[in-house]
């Protein structure tokens, strides 16, 4: 299986240095990963390193908690699009969702997608904090807000992705939008199992291990 076509090679640690980002992009180029997923402060560096390649630059909005204002998320998204990021992974407002403020959650996603435009917007559900019903509800909200993907996790919650989460998300979105599994995916067997469930993208810091079949 060509895992490289699915992998967002990720480095979202707050301690990431320029040297670390250079290594990340070098690996992405070598293995022809789909994209690199980085914080906004590294977009310019990554764009420069990847400018003559097909590797996409993916950045994160409202990360990792999702609890800032809608205006802050919209402005962050706008800034990163102007800097040249190709895709954005946005953390939804988990507190609003769990309060039943579904319209506010959907409107926030809609506003961010409006500034993202034709670029890809993934909505991070942070499934570790949600019930099965909330996972299904939120996935449907993301569809209604015209997002391009739903994503399981930030990697900073109490756990990462699970097969059960993805089954629920797939049940909710069908083929209307895509699914990204992220958090704790470290080997080729696990990655293949997610892809077999219908996942279109894998977010991982273990991309090299996955494509070289290491554990």
Q: Choose, from 73, 113, 122, 180, the residue flagged as catalytic.
A: 180
Do residues 60 and 37 lie in contact, with contact meaning Cβ atoms separated by under 8 Å? yes
171 is catalytic: no
Q: Choose, from 89, 113, 122, 148, the residue flagged as catalytic.
A: 89
Q: CA distances (Å), 150 to each of 2, 71, 182, in order?
A: 22, 21, 11
89 is catalytic: yes
183 Cβ contact list (under 8 Å, min separation 6):
152, 153, 154, 155, 157, 159, 160, 161, 203
187 is catalytic: no
Neighbours of 78 (CB within 10 A): 15
Q: Choose, from 73, 113, 122, 151, the residue flagged as catalytic.
A: 151
- The three-class DSSP label of residue 90 is strand
Give the residue numbers marked as catalytic: 89, 151, 180
């Amino acid at each position: 299986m060509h895992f490289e076509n699915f992998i967002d090679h990720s480095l979202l640690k707050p301690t990431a240095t320029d040297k670390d980002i250079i290594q990340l992009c070098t690996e992405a180029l070598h293995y022809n990963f789909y994209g690199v997923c980085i914080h906004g402060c590294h977009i310019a560096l990554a764009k420069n390193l990847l400018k003559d390649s097909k590797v996409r630059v993916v950045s994160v909005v409202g990360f990792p908690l999702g609890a800032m204002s809608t205006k802050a998320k919209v402005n962050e998204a706008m800034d990163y699009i102007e800097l040249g990021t190709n895709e954005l992974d946005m953390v939804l407002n988990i507190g609003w969702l769990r309060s039943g403020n579904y319209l506010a959650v959907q409107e926030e996603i809609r506003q961010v997608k409006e500034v993202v435009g034709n670029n890809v917007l993934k909505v991070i559900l942070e499934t570790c904090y949600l019930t099965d019903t909330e996972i299904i509800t939120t996935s449907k909200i993301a569809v209604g807000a015209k997002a391009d993907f739903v994503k399981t996790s930030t990697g900073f919650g109490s756990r990462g992705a699970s097969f059960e989460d993805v089954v629920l998300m797939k049940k909710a979105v069908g083929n209307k939008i895509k699914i990204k599994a992220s958090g704790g995916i470290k080997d080729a067997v696990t990655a293949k199992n997610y892809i077999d469930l219908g996942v279109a993208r894998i977010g991982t810091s273990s991309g090299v291990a996955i494509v070289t079949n290491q554990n």
